[in-house]
């Protein structure tokens, strides 16, 4: 899940800017964590402690105000609603990465990914986006060839992951849906040669940059065996003590490098 958080922090300054290049500094003074990191941490805490996820999402929303929450989530969490709101937004996929690292069977990953999404994003596309992202992480930890991962994901989830980024990039625009974010984020990983390259691929699409990089980052972390230490150390410096503690406890609990 650290890979997802790092992607969010790197992508934070590119959201809404339409960045269409891979040539940019990874961190700048304005870099920060957004709702992607906050809600990823909430899911990690859920897996670590078994607390109620809805209550955790409400609590983390209150603890970290003004972090760029989507409008529907903002209304839901702000009023502490308990029932889901049939969203197919990419929030279901952006927060799911801990699930992909926490379980040892695909069946568990899919079941817990659905649970993580369904408290808010109970639309079929919201569920599919979360499951596909978590499954990609599961496969990335176990399958050596990226094309084999692509074929499994396409077969299982029905996404077209074959279109090259060079064809996607010129026409791609800001999109907050799962179906308009998850395939592109997965393709960014599939064309990568390193963790850093995957993040640069995702941001270069010029869309919802922090969420694209967050989704891509979790998968890339799994595939490349972690986040490069210099990048991880710099990103962690942007987190407060509470978020840092969750990251460290999660990594220790599930044996992540």
pLDDT at 86: 97
Phi, psi of 89 (to 5 degrees): -70, 160
Q: What is the pLDDT of residues 133-186, one digit of tens each?
A: 999 999 999 999 999 999 999 999 999 999 999 999 999 999 999 999 999 999
pLDDT class of 36 with cuts at 50, 70, 90? very high
Q: What is the pLDDT of residues 68-77, one digit of tens each?
A: 999 999 999 9
Looking at per-residue pLDDT, the higher value among 255 and 189 belongs to 189
pLDDT at 8: 98
**Residue 14's domain spans which residues?**
2-253
Give burial (CB, 10 Å; 0-12/13-18/19+) of 236.
middle
pLDDT at 256: 81
Average pLDDT taken over every residue of the chain: 97
pLDDT at 255: 86
pLDDT over threshold 80, residue 257:
no
Q: Which of 212, 248, 249 is nearest to 232 (CA)?
A: 248
**pTM confidence score:** 0.98
CATH code, domain carrying 189: 1.10.4080.10
Q: What is the pLDDT of residues 196-245, one digit of tens each?
A: 999 999 999 999 999 999 999 999 999 999 999 999 999 999 999 999 99
> How many structural domains compose the chain?
1
Q: Which of 183, 168, 177, 85 is nearest to 132 (CA)?
A: 183
């Amino acid at each position: 899940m650290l890979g997802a958080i790092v992607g969010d922090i790197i992508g934070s300054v590119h959201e809404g800017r339409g960045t269409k290049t891979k040539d940019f500094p990874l961190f700048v003074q304005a870099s920060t964590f957004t709702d992607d990191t906050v809600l990823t941490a909430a899911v990690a805490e859920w897996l670590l402690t078994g607390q109620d996820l809805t209550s955790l999402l409400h609590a983390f929303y209150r603890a970290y105000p003004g972090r760029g929450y989507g409008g529907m989530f903002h209304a839901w969490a702000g009023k502490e609603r308990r029932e889901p709101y049939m969203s197919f937004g990419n929030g279901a996929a952006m927060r799911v990465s801990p699930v992909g690292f926490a379980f040892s069977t695909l069946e568990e990953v899919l079941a817990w990914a659905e649970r993580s999404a369904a408290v808010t994003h109970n639309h079929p596309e919201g569920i599919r986006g979360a499951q596909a992202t978590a499954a990609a992480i599961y496969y990335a930890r176990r399958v050596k060839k990226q094309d084999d991962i692509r074929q499994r994901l396409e077969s299982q989830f029905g996404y077209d992951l074959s279109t090259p980024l060079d064809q996607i990039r010129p026409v791609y625009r800001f999109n907050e849906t799962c179906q308009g974010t998850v395939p592109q984020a997965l393709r960014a990983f599939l064309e990568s040669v390193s963790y850093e390259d995957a993040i640069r691929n995702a941001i270069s699409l010029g869309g919802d940059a922090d969420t694209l990089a967050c989704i891509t980052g979790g998968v890339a972390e799994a595939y490349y065996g972690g986040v490069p230490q210099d990048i991880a150390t710099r990103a962690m410096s942007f987190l407060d003590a509470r978020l840092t503690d969750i990251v460290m406890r999660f990594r220790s609990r599930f044996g992540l490098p």
